[in-house]
Amino acid sequence: MVCALYRGARSDGEVVKLLRRFRTEHANNQFLGLEDAGYIVRIGAETVARYSPVYASLTWNFENELAGGCLEDTGLKRAGAEAVRQLTSLGIAVDCAHLGKRAFAKVMDMTDMVVVSHACSAALYPHPRNLEDRQAQEIVSRGGMIGITFVGSFLSKRPSAEDVFAHADHFVQKFGPEYFCFGTDFYGSDDLPDGLKCFADADRLHTYFMRAGYEKSVIDRLFVINLRNYLLRNRH
């Protein structure tokens, strides 16, 4: 499991306090992710690295100190480019989930250490937070991970568990199963389909994959193995 720390309205000091708390209280199978990490310009990437995040997203949906988000596509700022260089040198992947297209393209030019923590397919449902196939190809070609999310507004007009399967299936059929997992956004969003409100509910998704003829080994990769292998390979 990756637990993402979202900055929101928290001060830099409050963020650091939560980082310290996570370091002392997290379980062995819990890993840290950072969302909207514009505070890097003040507290420094080296400080962030002490808490061993697997990834850091430069923005949330809007422009911040580092880059433009998916709703304000103002590109990658100078401070953002420096953050990408520093994060890469420290072994921390850049999460491109919330980036605008211009910033996304620039990050692809700068590093191969990239992931998309939670998104769906723009080919199936157009939404500013969803990935176009060409963007997914950029992540896959660099060996990154893409987490298929359960956020209803990313899935369809009337989101369901079957829509989660459809988005996952689209990516797997196009790019193979090796680079995909689930980025549920449990505890980060209330916009979840009926019957997919918690981790216990997620087991119901297996049925859709089995009905579609997926082998158990591939289902296991998508639900557990791909993410586990990525996290263990990039632990630091």
- Mean of the per-residue pLDDT values for the chain? 96
Tell me if 97 sits within 8 A of 117, measured CB to CB. Answer: yes
For the segment 20-78, what is each residue's pLDDT rounded down to a tens digit? 999 999 999 999 999 999 999 999 999 999 999 999 999 999 999 999 999 999 999 99
pTM given for the model: 0.96
pLDDT in the model for residue 236: 64
pLDDT of residue 205 exceeding 70: yes
Tell me if 113 sits within 8 A of 88, measured CB to CB. Answer: yes
For the segment 183-204, what is each residue's pLDDT rounded down to a tens digit? 999 999 999 999 999 988 988 8
* Average of per-residue pLDDT across 136-160: 98
- Residue ranges of domains in the chain, CATH in brackets: 2-233 (3.20.20.140)
